[in-house]
Structure 1
């Protein structure tokens, strides 16, 4: 079955929408400033238990699962992260040619499967026939590219949470495919939606405003509150460079009532820098290692201060 044209995502290599995106950003920021929109939904929605102070432990998000233990964005890696000290599992969502949300980071399947070409050129049946594990190790031969639904079915029985990054620009109809799956699996209270694309997060606000959105930006310039307001976001996800070149940024974000997460930190030196500045969450390829480091360096104990294992998620 082929998908209607309006179900094919507008990916970044399609430049036709750049002017529309720029206009939407300017309009949204202007409205937010003129109308004094309250962008702080952190506490009201219960996503962050509290904004961190410098030196307090940040929550852990396993980047594409636990990629030290299994091939990224496979059910094996995601399952490992769900059973690690990570509070969140972060993964990437794209659409197949027939409109099925699947988990894949790259725009093409070349790096992590035995196939070639863009994700959106494959139907799900074609994509599911690819080997997504042998590149990592012989024990993962035959691992497949999971659907979002398969992951949400795992998450449903876990006590953990998920950050779903929607890759590229999504329409209201496309976002509804994701939010409907989240509702069907009863994990609304355990999912945050992230995107680099403001128009995608605006679509989330129209379709499922109850789902918290996070804007991913490599650098934060200007007023973080206005930036978050443009996307209806409760938090910003940014790079280590953004906070090390501007150490006051974390406090400015917190003063606006927003959360701030940092990606992708994989060693004790960068973990210590992020914690010292009071970031709320750290995205890492090494969730188990970071959990142990927090237990030893922050909590002052060799015991992990996080619940691990499986439980029913609401």
Structure 2
């Protein structure tokens, strides 16, 4: 058994990252503004152990500073501008702590796919032990999925809660040969695959094994359209509004209906 999670058609990747600086409070507000109820975000630890919402191993790309995340303290990060690189409209944006982000998600009554981001040189066990109790305390089980590429992080996460209280998602770039064993080890709820490298037979196998299929990161709804028929539950996209417009067009077949028809044909 897993939590009663109602997966959405669209999940905003790193928040609405085409409209606001990724992994920021503003990106989550932007997703909410256009009616997206789920966001995908990354969490890591700073050098002082503070969990923050951030993707890269360093701050070079998405801030006005330089340096490795693991060499920084929370106090140092709050001197950074993490919005101006994206647009002057976001000048002054600060790096978000996990606690602040969870508070905003609750305030907006949203749900989250939180990725445990284990970059090189970072400890997956320390990340899980610092992050997971905070998330479990803040959100009900039906409003979040915890995912990672790191199998150690996923296995350790499972020691904190059983499958009916914690949905785990295994992230893959290419589907590995032993994926069924790996999903079984963590009692996975979902498998999160790179949509551009996924094959129809693999998608079929994932669903037949009982796992929800989430696909990252499609930004062209026309190119992604066949994957709804493959059984994709959710598209994790930088461009939720483009997908919304495409899916709401009179000629579009809703993904839920495509999935139902496909199931009947199997």
> Shorter-chain-normalised TM-score: which range?
0.7 to 0.9
- Determine if the alignment matches structure 1 residue 218 to structure 2 residue 173: yes
**In structure 1, what is the Cα distance between the partners aligned to 2:110 and 2:253?**
21
Q: What residue number does 1:45 align with?
A: 3
Q: What residue number does 2:73 align with?
A: 123
1:7-22 aligned at under 5 Å gives the runs none
**In structure 1, what is the Cα distance between the partners aligned to 2:123 and 2:145?**
16
Q: What residue number does 2:116 align with?
A: 166
* 2:236 aligned counterpart, secondary structure: strand
* 1:125 aligned counterpart, secondary structure: helix
Residue 103 of structure 1, CA deviation: 0.9
Among 182, 189, 192, the alignment partner of 2:135 is: 182
Greater Cα shift, 283-292 or 257-266: 283-292
Q: What residue number does 2:41 align with?
A: 91
**In structure 2, what is the Cα distance between the partners aligned to 1:170 and 1:288?**
36
Among 278, 292, 310, the alignment partner of 2:231 is: 278
Q: What residue number does 2:261 align with?
A: none
> Higher relative contact order at CA 8 Å, sep ≥6: structure 1 or structure 2?
1
**Deviation per CA, 1:153-183, whole angstroms, max 9, x where unpaired?**
0111233210111111655453132222223
**In structure 1, what is the Cα distance between the partners aligned to 2:33 and 2:76?**
30
Q: What residue number does 1:253 align with?
A: 206
**In structure 1, what is the Cα distance between the partners aligned to 2:178 and 2:6?**
21
* 2:243 aligned counterpart, secondary structure: helix
Give the superposed CA RMSD.
2.0
Please, which runs of 5 or more residues in structure 1 have no aligned partner? 1-40, 50-57, 301-314
* TM-score normalised by structure 1 residue count: 0.74
**In structure 1, what is the Cα distance between the partners aligned to 2:161 and 2:69?**
26
Among 13, 21, 24, the alignment partner of 1:74 is: 24
**In structure 1, what is the Cα distance between the partners aligned to 2:15 and 2:24?**
8
Q: What residue number does 1:114 align with?
A: 64
- Determine if the alignment matches structure 1 residue 135 to structure 2 residue 90: no
User: 8 Å contact 2:212–2:233 — kept in the other structure?
Assistant: yes
**In structure 2, what is the Cα distance between the partners aligned to 1:170 and 1:59?**
33
Q: What residue number does 1:263 align with?
A: 216
- Determine if the alignment matches structure 1 residue 237 to structure 2 residue 195: no
**In structure 2, what is the Cα distance between the partners aligned to 1:85 and 1:276?**
24
User: 8 Å contact 2:15–2:41 — kept in the other structure?
Assistant: yes
**In structure 1, what is the Cα distance between the partners aligned to 2:196 and 2:139?**
37
Residues 276 and 189 (structure 1), Cα distance of their counterparts in 2 relative to 1, 3 Å cut: closer
**In structure 2, what is the Cα distance between the partners aligned to 1:182 and 1:275?**
30
**In structure 2, what is the Cα distance between the partners aligned to 1:135 and 1:171?**
29
Q: What residue number does 1:55 align with?
A: none
Residue 278 of structure 1, CA deviation: 1.7
Please, which runs of 5 or more residues in structure 2 have no aligned partner? 256-266
Q: What residue number does 2:262 align with?
A: none
* 1:162 aligned counterpart, secondary structure: strand
